[in-house]
A and B are shown apart, each in its own frame.
Chain A
């Protein structure tokens, strides 16, 4: 930058003679002064007319308008009070309309008395009422079929495990009379329903109470009774299940310490045992499936080797050592394939030397690793020994057919359901999946709302971060889907609610983790001094000094002109 010093001052000012005091440099000529003025003006013209616009344009922070109050309202639970009215249909082929209405009314009354948790309540209706409501039809969670059976002392219920139907058998004598407010049958049905939905209700209560919105909604009914065992099992399940994601990757891996088996009928096994579950879970998340076969997969050196149990002739693993079963350092279990978490399912075939391998305490062959996946130890039937004296000649079958994979994959499908947070009761799988949908919808609604709240607070507390336009549009998408989701929840259309909540959650996460915003979160204003000064300081000092000198000269000139 030294040439700038040179061309700013004219030679008359930059050069002084050192020969003697008598030979001072000659006075500047007016033309030289004019030239110097022009040079200073040329530099400052560039700064003023090009530099400042560029500075203004490139460092101004774009902050898109965000509906902050609305976002905070959502996070505070003021915009939506999540309620989950569960629709239950009564099929009463053997009852007259009046009787059915009466039964319905008394049962509903009993139910309402039993229920103290307002966010989750059961709503009963008759099957033929459905025809009247063409629009805004709620999802029917459960169908109660009332069947008269003559030789029964008391009503009896039976839940069909593959549909959402509860069969209630009752002696015809117990049909409530129009006058009575209560009847054994209606209280029986109410009790059954209450029992069926107890776990779901407790789960939702737990989720709601863990969040700000839920706390506002459920603060008035802390009194509800959840048995400690139930509460504990719910907490355990919530801890065990994966965090919700839009897409899960299912990775099925076959590990064996030897060279066999080296192939398995994985495609048909997945087709038969996993695909139906994935299909059923498709409203909740997307799934991708990967498989791999890893031969010569050894335990890590720190893992205690299986012990031989002489008495029973089996090899056993200590239960407390199961956590070290996975050799995380060497087994290629990639924690993530693309976006979204991976759920690992490991099928381990022990070497013939360790046949059969079981867990010591429970004699089980499978276990869940919380928030990670499941393990199944498959002890395949060994080929018949040609020589009974030598166990060394034994080897695993080279190929695992579908029949031998069946227990493993049934276990895996069960493990998958638990890892995704499906409740363990009631017995009917469709019912449990519906419960999962409701739980997920509520969870996502809460999590998207709280993300919005965090974004709003972040925006308010850091006025210097930029807010790009995509964030603003994401926020508005989130808001519209949140209200759609809340509306669907209120109307009991849980599938729609989940679909909207999924979109809301994705968009909320995207806006919160927008890259250009995150970069500046930890960038205080003082750092700008360090950014500007090192380069602009050296350039600026001669420019400013030159300007000051010129200004002083002009002022002196004016004064001289006035006085003279």
Chain B
């Protein structure tokens, strides 16, 4: 593949920006690592270092109940020099991961699956950004930069998801499933993307081969691959940890049962602090089901645009998953520029973008008021996380609306351009 000069410039610029920030503000990574917006109990770099410390001393990293991340991260990170003394290699590593993610985005964008797939082709397919613009939106997004400098391990999940998508749009269906397996291994929730992703794979497969295979067989086969990849990764982890029940309860059990109610930008922590203990289990079920319920119905409704379903689901996860951080939001925002052609149809762009900006500026301030100044209380921060979630939900709802409107206009060409109202 010939090296695209503009792409190289974007990548180089992003790398330089990250290293420059590190050199100019040497304390910035540690500051960001401690922020609740960047680090959640399941992605925190500090907790990873604690696990690493225990791991390098031949103690089970899950002893002490601090570390809750996938064990495969431990050998990888023990290869890197100590981040406390030599921050540069770790920063470089994270920047490279970002660039890998951007590269996957460029692949997705260049495949043009976002504008025209097997079953659906938008009437606005000419309004489209180039791959390097999409990559630039991702790499120069302040949320992405903060995540990168904060060294959240959530970026590895993002890498898994983005590579699953990029492999899927290229028709490498098995690779796609393996990448999704990796993402699900790091944090469970990407498994919910299986249905739309396998449909995307199916569409690409059907487009390329002359004969359309049986859908059910295709799904079952790919589900088996997905399952095998997760089991394989767990098997390797078992070699590192040795105790399966400890491993499962400390990582997936922790993510499913949400015992750590450290504040984050999500909706769960405050709710589960307040809920009566006896209803905790029930509402855990409700919250998880709420998250799950979208996968099936969105896929049914937007069957013709599986890539769009995946993007929207990622947005929904960024709002409703148990330990969300700005890493999840930045993943969703990285996929949005693929839908440049829907932007003209969106109605609340100004409002939702303002809400997001308002929340991202006031959130740290209110957190400071609550935790450090003591002049505010938990409700200050929670109110801001509500505004943040509202802004995100508005964008998600608006893009879904735009996608539906686009489909409708294609079916009813004579109505194009008419104003609409929701009833």
Contact = CB atoms under 8 A, between A and B. Distances in A.
Interface of A: 1-3, 5-7, 10-19, 23, 25-26, 29, 35, 38-39, 42-43, 45-47, 50-51, 54-55, 57-59, 466, 516, 519-520, 523, 527, 531, 535-536, 539
When A and B form their complex, which 5 residue pairs have the shortest distance between CB atoms, in order from nearest?
A54-B285, A58-B281, A58-B282, A11-B408, A3-B397
B238 interface: no
Nearest to A37: B300
A11 B407 contact: yes
A450 to B, nearest CB: 28
Interface of B: 271, 275-279, 281-286, 289-290, 292-294, 296-298, 300-303, 312, 316, 393-394, 396-397, 400-401, 404-405, 407-408, 411-412, 415, 418-423
Contacts of A12: 408
A296 B275 CA distance: 49
Given A7-B297, A38-B300, A14 B285 contact: no
A324 B292 CA distance: 66
Contact of B300 (A29, A35, A51): A35
B285 A55 contact: yes
Contacts of A39: 297, 300-301
A11 B405 contact: yes
Contact of B297 (A5, A15, A43, A54): A43
Contacts of B394: 2
B292 A50 contact: yes
Given A59-B278, A531-B279, 20 more contacts: A3-B312, A3-B393, A6-B400, A7-B400, A10-B404, A14-B422, A15-B405, A16-B421, A17-B418, A23-B418, A39-B301, A42-B297, A43-B296, A46-B296, A50-B285, A51-B289, A54-B286, A58-B282, A58-B285, A539-B290
A59 B297 contact: no
A38 B300 CA distance: 7
Interface centre among A17, A38, A42, A539 (most CB of B within 10 A): A42
Given A2-B397, A58-B285, A14 B292 contact: no
Given A46-B292, A520-B278, A7 B421 contact: no
B286 A519 contact: no
A6 B404 contact: yes
B286 A51 contact: yes
B283 A535 contact: yes
B258 to A, nearest CB: 14
B340 to A, nearest CB: 20
Nearest to B300: A38
Contacts of B285: 50-51, 54-55, 58
A535 B407 CA distance: 32
24 contacts: A2-B397, A5-B397, A5-B422, A6-B397, A7-B297, A7-B298, A7-B400, A11-B408, A15-B420, A16-B421, A29-B411, A38-B301, A39-B301, A42-B293, A42-B296, A43-B293, A43-B296, A46-B292, A46-B293, A46-B296, A51-B285, A57-B281, A59-B278, A520-B278
A437 to B, nearest CB: 42
B120 to A, nearest CB: 13
B409 to A, nearest CB: 9
Contacts of B419: 18-19
A67 B407 CA distance: 67
Given A3-B396, A14-B423, A59 B300 contact: no
B397 A17 contact: no
B422 A15 contact: yes
B301 A7 contact: yes
Interface centre among A23, A47, A51 (most CB of B within 10 A): A51
B279 A54 contact: no
Nearest to B315: A3
Contacts of B420: 15-18
A155 to B, nearest CB: 71
B289 A54 contact: yes
Interface of A is mostly: helix
A55 B288 CA distance: 12
A113 to B, nearest CB: 62
A47 B301 CA distance: 18
Nearest to B275: A531
A17 B409 CA distance: 13
Interface centre among A2, A17, A466, A523 (most CB of B within 10 A): A2
B281 A46 contact: no
Contacts of B289: 46-47, 50-51, 54
Contacts of B301: 7, 35, 38-39
B301 to A, nearest CB: 5
A520 B397 CA distance: 40
Given A2-B394, A45-B296, A58-B281, A531 B418 contact: no
B276 A19 contact: no
Contacts of A466: 278
Nearest to B276: A531
Contacts of B405: 11, 15
B275 to A, nearest CB: 8
Contacts of B411: 29
Nearest to A36: B301
A47 B293 CA distance: 8
Nearest to B271: A535
A402 B212 CA distance: 100
Contacts of B397: 2-3, 5-6
A416 B168 CA distance: 81
A3 B399 CA distance: 9
Nearest to B421: A18
B420 to A, nearest CB: 5
Contacts of A42: 293, 296-297, 300
Contacts of A57: 281
Contacts of A38: 300-301
Contacts of A58: 279, 281-282, 284-285
A88 to B, nearest CB: 57
Contacts of B277: 519
A13 B423 CA distance: 8
A525 to B, nearest CB: 13
A268 B278 CA distance: 53
Given A7-B301, A50-B289, A55 B282 contact: yes
A561 B308 CA distance: 38
Given A17-B418, A18-B421, A46-B293, A535 B286 contact: yes
B276 A523 contact: yes
A89 B412 CA distance: 111
A527 B275 CA distance: 12
A43 B400 CA distance: 17
B259 to A, nearest CB: 16
A2 B275 CA distance: 24
Nearest to B405: A11
Contact of B404 (A11, A19, A51): A11
Contacts of B290: 539
B288 to A, nearest CB: 8
A535 B281 CA distance: 15
B396 to A, nearest CB: 5
Contact of B418 (A10, A19, A35, A47): A19
Contacts of A7: 297-298, 301-302, 400, 404
Contacts of A1: 393
A59 B282 contact: yes
A47 B290 CA distance: 9
B320 to A, nearest CB: 10
Contacts of B312: 3
A529 B407 CA distance: 41
A561 B251 CA distance: 56
Interface centre among A15, A47, A51, A536 (most CB of B within 10 A): A15
B166 to A, nearest CB: 26
B279 A2 contact: no
Contacts of B294: 3
Contacts of A520: 278
A6 B345 CA distance: 14
B300 A15 contact: no
Contacts of B303: 35
A515 to B, nearest CB: 10
